[in-house]
């Protein structure tokens, strides 16, 4: 068989860092070992029945059996505008300030190609969601990771960005509640972001993927709630987390009309539009009862409390996240994120994601998902205690 070569661009792009972790996990599972999966980021709860029923009915509509309209169906865009007005007090024009994607990942991949030129720099956080680092390569653009640390609430310091970087920065990508740290943005931080964007003429993209999940009575903010934010940027939202619709592939972008226009044009050229019945189900999700969303947030908060308390009880002094469904735990002294994950998998039969996979500043952390039942979270702590890995850390070279 002839071996054809991929393009130079594709060859230059990194592979999926977490694929190696998955292979280690698969090897353990194939040996018949029961592994507790805290490394994953896919919701474990079902899609609410009302949304599923709306999809069932919508598949029978003749209007959904042909190509869907460019940029999304009107009823979904109107539902998004109602959602933002109701939930965040933000007014949106459905025709010019909203566009639909087959999942937010499509939008994240499209952004650099729609907005950046070769050599331009995308600013984001380190650690941060790996896609923010990989996708700019599609536009031959570069990435600068702004360090985020616990002492600053895992929020970047714009004053620390070098002038040589600022001179070539053309896009700022943020994500709060944050994956992987579970940090949330403050009003002051978003106000600072608007000023920074205006001063340096850098558009902002805020990924609100975990916007439904804030703990201890604190509700995550939409960037667009900030005065002047809609003039400076856009926000991405996905149905995957809020409504347990990860497999449905539905998301949207809202905000600055010029950015929405560029994204829509790129999407029209590079992608197919979302199946109309899925869009109708999305409209039902936004307009219907939000009781399931509140219950889901409470479920994740309870799981957070169980996991954090259980780990502290066995002598691992972890911090509790303020939002998302991820925990960001500092590894015990003597470990790196990779050596600790290896020990967790091999000796405790518990899987977490190494922080180095999210950036250089993540190497002293692991990410644990709150996507297992409470009894499994308690068992994970007991396994870690029994393995002895907290007391027998390897010596670093």
pLDDT surpassing 50 at residue 38? yes
Residue found under tokens 């619709």? 245
Confidence label for 18 from pLDDT (cuts 50, 70 and 90): confident
114 in any annotated domain: yes
Which pLDDT score, from 0 to 100, does residue 397 have? 47
Same domain, 260 and 360: no
The C-alpha atoms of residue 330 and residue 349 are separated, in whole angstroms, by 19
Same domain, 172 and 244: yes
Total domains in the fold of the chain:
2
pLDDT tens digits for range 330-353: 999 999 999 999 999 999 999 999
Q: Which secondary structure element, helix H or strand E, spans residue 142, and what is its range?
A: strand 142-147
End residue of a domain, out of 239, 261, 287: 287
Which pLDDT score, from 0 to 100, does residue 31 have? 82
The answer to whether the CB of 71 falls within 8 A of the CB of 264 is yes
Query: Residues 153-168: what's their mean pLDDT?
Result: 97
pLDDT surpassing 70 at residue 103? yes
Which pLDDT score, from 0 to 100, does residue 195 have? 98
pLDDT tens digits for range 191-205: 999 999 999 999 999
CATH of the domain at 171: 3.40.640.10
Same domain, 278 and 315: no
Measure Cα distances from 93 to 80, 129, 264, 270, 354 in Å. 10, 29, 15, 24, 41
The rounded percent of the chain whose pLDDT value lies above 70 is 99
Range of the domain at 373: 8-46+292-387
Query: Highest mean pLDDT: which of 66-70, 111-115, 270-274?
Result: 111-115
Same domain, 269 and 382: no
Measure Cα distances from 90 to 81, 100, 235 in Å. 8, 18, 12
End residue of a domain, out of 287, 302, 326: 287
One-letter-per-residue 3-state SS of 376-397: HHHHHHHHHHHHCCCCCCCCCC
Same domain, 16 and 88: no
149 in any annotated domain: yes
pLDDT tens digits for range 61-100: 999 999 898 889 999 999 999 999 999 999 999 999 999 9
pLDDT surpassing 80 at residue 20? no
- How long, in residues, is the chain? 397
36: β partners: 350
End residue of a domain, out of 257, 287, 317: 287
Same domain, 242 and 368: no
Q: Which residue has the higher pLDDT, 28 or 322?
A: 322
Q: Which two tokens stand for residue 172?
A: 């700022």
pLDDT tens digits for range 351-373: 999 999 999 999 999 999 999 99
Lowest pLDDT segment from 175-184, 277-286, 385-394: 385-394
Query: Residues 97-104: what's their mean pLDDT?
Result: 93
Measure Cα distances from 302 to 46, 143, 212, 220 in Å. 18, 36, 15, 17
Backbone angles phi, psi at 206, to 5 degrees: -110, 120
Residues 6+ apart with CB under 8 A from 372: 36, 37, 38, 44, 303, 380
Same domain, 34 and 137: no
Which pLDDT score, from 0 to 100, does residue 272 have? 84
The C-alpha atoms of residue 156 and residue 145 are separated, in whole angstroms, by 9
Same domain, 146 and 159: yes
pLDDT surpassing 60 at residue 265? yes
Which pLDDT score, from 0 to 100, does residue 395 have? 57
Work out the mean pLDDT of the chain and round it to a whole number. Answer: 94
Same domain, 42 and 56: no
pLDDT tens digits for range 161-189: 999 999 999 999 999 999 999 999 999 99
Q: Which residue has the higher pLDDT, 229 or 23?
A: 229
1 in any annotated domain: no
Same domain, 265 and 202: yes
Which pLDDT score, from 0 to 100, does residue 29 have? 81
């Amino acid at each position: 068989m002839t071996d054809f070569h991929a393009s130079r661009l594709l060859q230059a792009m990194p592979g999926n860092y977490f694929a190696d972790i998955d292979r280690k996990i698969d090897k353990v599972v194939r040996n018949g070992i029961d592994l507790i999966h805290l490394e994953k980021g896919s919701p474990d709860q079902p899609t609410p029945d009302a949304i599923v029923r709306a999809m069932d009915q919508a598949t029978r509509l003749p209007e959904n059996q042909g190509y869907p309209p460019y940029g999304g169906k009107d009823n979904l865009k109107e539902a998004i505008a109602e959602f933002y007005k109701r939930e965040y007090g933000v007014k949106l024009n459905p025709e010019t300030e909203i566009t639909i994607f087959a999942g937010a990942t499509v939008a994240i991949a499209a952004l650099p190609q729609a907005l950046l030129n070769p050599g331009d720099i995308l600013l984001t956080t380190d650690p941060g969601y790996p896609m923010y680092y990989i996708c700019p390569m599609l536009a031959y653009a570069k990435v600068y990771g702004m360090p985020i640390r616990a002492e600053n609430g895992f929020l970047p310091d714009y004053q620390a960005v070098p002038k040589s970087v600022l001179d070539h920065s053309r896009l700022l990508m943020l994500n709060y509640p944050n994956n992987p740290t579970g940090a949330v943005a403050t009003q002051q931080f978003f106000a600072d972001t608007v000023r920074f964007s205006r001063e340096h003429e850098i558009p902002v993209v805020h990924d609100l993927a975990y916007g439904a999940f804030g703990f201890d009575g604190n509700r995550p903010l939409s960037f667009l709630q900030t005065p002047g934010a809609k003039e400076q940027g856009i926000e991405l939202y996905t149905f995957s987390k809020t409504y347990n619709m990860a497999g449905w592939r539905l998301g949207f972008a809202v905000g600055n009309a010029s950015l929405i226009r560029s994204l829509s044009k790129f999407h029209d050229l590079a992608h197919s539009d979302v199946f109309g019945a899925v869009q109708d189900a999305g409209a039902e999700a936004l307009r219907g009862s939000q009781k399931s969303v509140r219950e889901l947030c409470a479920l994740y908060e309870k799981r957070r409390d169980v996991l954090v308390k259980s780990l502290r009880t066995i002598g691992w002094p972890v911090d509790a996240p303020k939002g998302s469904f991820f925990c960001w735990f500092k590894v015990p002294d003597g470990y790196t994120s990779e050596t600790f994950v290896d020990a967790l998998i091999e000796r405790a039969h518990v899987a977490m994601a190494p922080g180095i996979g999210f950036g250089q500043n993540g190497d002293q952390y692991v990410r644990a998902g709150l996507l297992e039942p409470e009894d499994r979270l308690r068992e994970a702590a007991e396994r870690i205690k029994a393995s002895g890995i907290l007391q027998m850390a390897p010596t670093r070279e």
